Amino acid sequence: AQRVTQPEKLLSVFKGAPVELKCNYSYSGSPELFWYVQYSRQRLQLLLRHISRESIKGFTADLNKGETSFHLKKPFAQEEDSAMYYCALSGRGGYQKVTFGTGTKLQVIP
C-alpha cells in the first residue's frame, strides 16, 4: 500500500531561519513525489515535484530513495511562507491518483 507520512502537524520557525518539512513515504516501485501548498484562503496548489529538480520560491526537495524521504527545505524562511504543506506521491506513467500526507502547518514568526 502506498503511504505518505508527515510527522509534524505544526512547525514554527523565525523569519530568516532554515526550514525543513519532513516527509517519508512507502510505495512499491518508483513513485512520483510532490509538495503541495495551501496558503490561507487559497486553493491547494503544486509547489514542486521531484522529477523537475527545480527550486520554487526558494524551496527544494531531494528524493532519498534509501531513506524513502522527500523532505522540503528552504535556507531562509519568509513570513509569506506560512501555509499548510502537503507531501504527496503518485505512481509513474499515465494519470495516477495522488496520495497525500496529513500536512504540516508552517508558521513563520516575524
Note the residues at the interface with other proteins (CB under 8 A).
Answer: 4, 32, 34, 43-46, 49, 51, 86, 90, 95-103
- Closest CB 13 distance from other proteins, rounded Å: 23
C-alpha cell at 90: 503518485
- Closest CB 102 distance from other proteins, rounded Å: 5
Nearer to other proteins, 34 or 70 (CB): 34
- Closest CB 100 distance from other proteins, rounded Å: 4
C-alpha cell at 22: 519532513
- Closest CB 84 distance from other proteins, rounded Å: 10
CA-based torsion, 24, 26, 28, 31: positive or negative: negative
CA distance 10 to 66: 26
Nearer to other proteins, 82 or 90 (CB): 90
Nearer to other proteins, 46 or 109 (CB): 46
